[in-house]
Chain A
């Protein structure tokens, strides 16, 4: 068993690289936060026939989802579509004078702000990553274990991005927030593992890793289960609050990736560091 831990170490890294390849080939779906445009969601009574509305809005993407409280209609139009004509169609369809009579939400983002979001969002993620790396290095002050933690966090983000590309989860302010949350959760387990391995004196190396694993998997599972529940409840009860569902989905994918990265890659590197690298010096 001890022989192949180095192979196991690489598997999650390969997965992360495959994810990045997927993102670069398949791209990421853009929410209107990033692309600009208008998104109107309406809570219609259950079983409303919406096919007519769909036909009347050929230039917009019309998504319909049923929930326990009615039918959610989400209409997405790009910047080039005239908002007023979309509104007019919706008003005509639901037979109201003014959209505020409906249970609805509307979000409109112009081109200046959407490109600003994108730019600042990427900057926030970049800086977050750099700051995190500095703090991690300040905590351990040894290059190899610190690098392992940082590598794991970066790979987590890569896997989460790959999952977003695969499952068509749009990049938006909410999912950028989720990616930042992921950094926090990912580093939690990695720091715990590294501290246990380097600072604990009792037990063999494998015992210390096994002990850390028991704690770490409990930590990850609580969050994974909580996010799975959050995702399901939002999807089936309030689909219009898809911000929360998207955050939950991104964290779910990232945390499942984190289980592999922490216990295969990070644990593998630490094992190599303690049993070979340090002794070699």
Chain B
């Protein structure tokens, strides 16, 4: 076949092959809205410097890890937003409490601060303690010394424990802790021997805050999106089914119009190769496909098919000698249309309104690859096919 010697066709074949290899070996990863998991966006109360942002990231990572969540992605967006992606199903209620807790812990006796979260050296996981369900922890030597000084002679006074200015517990100071000696081991109890679900959550929140320390600023949750894995796989299945049917619909329209498999098949195959190119590209740059990216693929492939129709009709209408001129005109239309599509998507890409960035990326990438790889090859194929 002479066609296989055409460099534009060869480039398309090589790129499709490369995409297939990328998809096969590197795989395609899906965003949490398709594979299941949660995305949480935290808003900080004030703008953070880069080093504060790093601290926040570290603390939040440690808090989530402490609660058995691994493989968590945390990254800042701008100077006042933190995005957290958790790729597994998790108890949202507890996570919300754990994340938004600033974690400033203080123990006050008789209006004097006895110790703070910074004086804590070791924390035990929540469980039953001698005085009820709660969290056992150990103070540093310095902390214990401070506590001993403040507590001295105050047996029977309440030890008011505050987490983020909220009173969490106020056990009475036993006389043997008020003897002025150093007592490093302490306990915060939240319930008796029969803790409720809420008590357990509360204990874990205290445990997490003591263990990971306090955040430099207050944060609150601005966005949560959580998808269970079962529903996520339904989404992927649904998208694939919808894609296949949409493809059949396009095939039907084109077959009705051209009634010639020699024209219809190249259009469909090229359209399909564009899907592969976009997926290969997504795999290459480690882009996680979400629902918005799928919409972008639909948009890119849709314009791709439109452009192939333009090329086909220009090729058919161009009389033998004027074919080159017709093709040139077809590409004038295609480049113009592609440029306007990219121009329309650019603001989304630059501004990156969170969820729509995926849409802009797949559309722009698809259109660029279309005009540089698949459409030039298609024009050669269709010219060849129509001549023979």
Binding site for B on A (CB under 8 A): 33, 41, 43, 69, 84, 87, 97-100, 102-110, 112-113, 116-117, 120-121, 123-124, 127-129, 131-132, 134-136, 139, 173-174, 176-178, 180-181, 183-185, 187-189, 191-192, 195-196, 199-200, 211, 214-215, 218-219, 221-223, 225-230, 233-234, 237-238, 240-241, 243-244, 247
**A109 and B228: CB pair below 8 A?**
no
**A106 and B225: CB pair below 8 A?**
yes
Stretch at the interface among B118-126, B143-151, B305-313: B305-313
**B228 and A69: CB pair below 8 A?**
no
Using Cβ atoms and an 8 Å threshold, which residues of chain B touch A192?
A: 310, 333, 337
Specify the chain A residue showing the minimal Cβ separation from B305: A222
Cβ of B339 within 8 Å of any chain A Cβ, yes or no, is yes
Could you give, for residues 86-99 of chain B, a 1 whenever the CB lies within 8 Å of some chain A CB and a 0 otherwise?
00011111000000
**B351 and A124: CB pair below 8 A?**
yes
Cβ of B340 within 8 Å of any chain A Cβ, yes or no, is yes
Partner of A184, one of B294, B309, B329, B341: B341
Using Cβ atoms and an 8 Å threshold, which residues of chain B touch A43?
A: 230-231, 234
Can you name 21 A-B pairs with beta carbons within 8 Å? A43-B230, A84-B93, A97-B197, A103-B234, A116-B353, A124-B351, A128-B347, A128-B348, A139-B339, A177-B356, A184-B337, A189-B306, A192-B310, A222-B253, A226-B249, A229-B248, A233-B238, A233-B242, A238-B239, A241-B234, A243-B292
Using Cβ atoms and an 8 Å threshold, which residues of chain A touch B249?
A: 222, 225-226, 228-229
Partner of B295, one of A104, A187, A244: A244
Size range of the chain B interface in the assembly:
35 or more
Q: How far apart sit A124 and B347, CA to CA, in the bound complex (Å)? A: 5
Using Cβ atoms and an 8 Å threshold, which residues of chain B touch A97?
A: 197
Binding site for A on B (CB under 8 A): 33, 41, 43, 89-93, 197, 220-228, 230-231, 234-235, 237-239, 241-242, 245-250, 252-254, 257, 291-292, 294-296, 298-299, 302-303, 305-307, 309-310, 313, 317, 329, 332-333, 336-337, 339-341, 343-348, 351, 353-356, 359, 363
Specify the chain B residue showing the minimal Cβ separation from A140: B336
**B223 and A108: CB pair below 8 A?**
yes
Q: Which of A173, A240, A244 has the most CB of B within 10 A?
A: A244
- A220 to chain B minimum Cβ distance, whole angstroms, is 8
**B343 and A134: CB pair below 8 A?**
yes
Q: How far apart sit A224 and B340, CA to CA, in the bound complex (Å)? A: 20
**A199 and B332: CB pair below 8 A?**
yes
Using Cβ atoms and an 8 Å threshold, which residues of chain B touch A104?
A: 226, 228, 231
**A238 and B225: CB pair below 8 A?**
no
Specify the chain B residue showing the minimal Cβ separation from A243: B291
Partner of B353, one of A110, A117, A136, A195: A117
- B36 to chain A minimum Cβ distance, whole angstroms, is 9
**B302 and A173: CB pair below 8 A?**
no
Using Cβ atoms and an 8 Å threshold, which residues of chain A touch B309?
A: 215, 218-219, 222
**A103 and B310: CB pair below 8 A?**
no
Q: Which of B89, B230, B302 has the most CB of A within 10 A?
A: B302
Q: How far apart sit A176 and B353, CA to CA, in the bound complex (Å)? A: 11
A128-B343 CB under 8 A given contacts A87-B93, A173-B292, A244-B295:
yes
Q: How far apart sit A123 and B250, CA to CA, in the bound complex (Å)? A: 33
**B230 and A103: CB pair below 8 A?**
yes
Partner of A135, one of B248, B340, B347, B353: B340
9 more CB-based (< 8 A) A-B contacts, given A184-B340, A228-B249, A241-B291: A105-B225, A105-B231, A106-B92, A124-B353, A136-B336, A173-B356, A184-B299, A187-B344, A211-B317
